Amino acid sequence: MSRVRIATRASDLALAQSRHVAAMLEEKLGVDTELLPMKTTGDRLQGPLARVGGKGLFVKEIEEALLDGHADLAIHSAKDLPAAIPDGLALVAFPERADPRDALLARERGSTLMELPGGARIGTGSLRRATQLRALRPDFQIVPLRGNVPTRLRKLEEDDLDAVVVACAGLERLGLADRIDERVATDAMLPAVSQGILALEGLQNDALARDVAVLTDADTAIQVAAERTVLQRLNADCNVPLAAFAEPRGERLWLRAMLADPNDGRTLHAEGEAPPSEAAELGTRIAEELIAGGGAALVERLRHEALA
C-alpha cells in the first residue's frame, strides 16, 4: 500500500497528534499518508457526554470509516476509547507515552493547586478530575467545562476561573507546555486510563495493521494492557470517575486505580504489582479488588443515573 488514509478527529490537538504519527509511518514504512479529519458526534454535542453516550461518541464515526473502507487507520487519544472495540477492529500500535499527568493552568501564573485561594473556581469537564480536586481541597468550586484546549484556555479568563485542569500531554503536543503552572503529581491526582497515550486502530488481522506495529513502544503497550483491563473489567465509561495508572518500577509493573462516587466523594482504591508480562492479569486483579469493595454496584448506579 503506497498511501495510507488516516481518520482522525478534526480538533487542533487531534490533527497535531495525527501529523506526528503520520510522519512516523512515513519514516518507518516508506508510505505516503493522507489525513481524513472528521467531526465526531462528541465534538458536535454540547451537553454532558455521559447523558448521550459517553466516550464512544468521540470515535464512532472514525471507526465507521475504518469498517466501511473509507480509511485504512485511525488515530485516537487512548483515553477517549470506550471499553469495547467493535468487532472487526483492533488497537494495533501504541507509540511512546507522553507525560500522563494532569496539568494546572492558573490565572495567577506560577500558582499550584495548594496555593490557589480559598473557594477557587476550577474548570474541568472530567468527573475523575473533579472528584480528586474536591478530595484535595473541599473548598474548590468545580465549574463544568468542555471544548478543545484553546477554548478552555480562553474560558480561564472569560468565565472568571482561577484555574483549569487539562492533560499535560495535550499541551505538549500543541506546543503549549510553557503554559503549565503545575504538573500535578500522580499521588495527588491519578490519571485517566491511558492518558498521554496515542492508539492506532485498524482492521483486525489486516496486513497494514501488522506493519504499523513497528511504531509500538513496548513499555507503553504494557501500561495500556494493565490500565484498559481495569476499564474493561468494570465496563466503565465517562459517567464513572475512574483512574488507572501503570508504571514500571525496576523490573516490576506497579498499577494503581481509583473509583469514586461523584455524589458523596467516597472513593475506592486498589494497587498492586506484577511482572510486566502479567500486565493484563494485574489489571484484572486490581479491578476485582474495586469490585469487591462495591465497585460494580457503583458503576451500575452511575450508569443509570446518567441515563435518567
Cα 53 from Cα 57, distance rounded (Å): 6
Catalytic residue list contains 80: yes
Catalytic residue among 72, 80, 162, 206: 80
The Cα-based distances of 25 to 21, 168, 251 in angstroms read: 6, 24, 30
Q: Of 205, 204, 247, whose CA–CA distance to 226 is shortest?
A: 247
Instruction: Show the beta-strand stretches assigned E in 218-301.
Output: 242-249, 252-260, 267-274
Phi-psi region of 194 (alpha: psi -120 to 50; beta: other; left: phi over 0): left
Half-sphere exposure of 103 (CA within 13 A, CB side): 24
Which three cell numbers mark 77?
487519544
Cα 306 from Cα 102, distance rounded (Å): 25
DSSP SS3 for 79: helix
Length of the chain: 308
- Which residues lie below 8 Å from residue 63, measured CB to CB, with a gap of 6+? 74, 86, 89, 201
Half-sphere exposure of 99 (CA within 13 A, CB side): 18
Q: Of 91, 78, 104, 122, whose CA–CA distance to 244 is shortest?
A: 78
Neighbours of 214 (CB within 10 A): 11
The Cα-based distances of 100 to 61, 78, 299 in angstroms read: 26, 11, 24
- Which residues lie below 8 Å from residue 141, measured CB to CB, with a gap of 6+? 119, 120, 121, 122
Q: Supply the residues annotated as catalytic.
A: 80
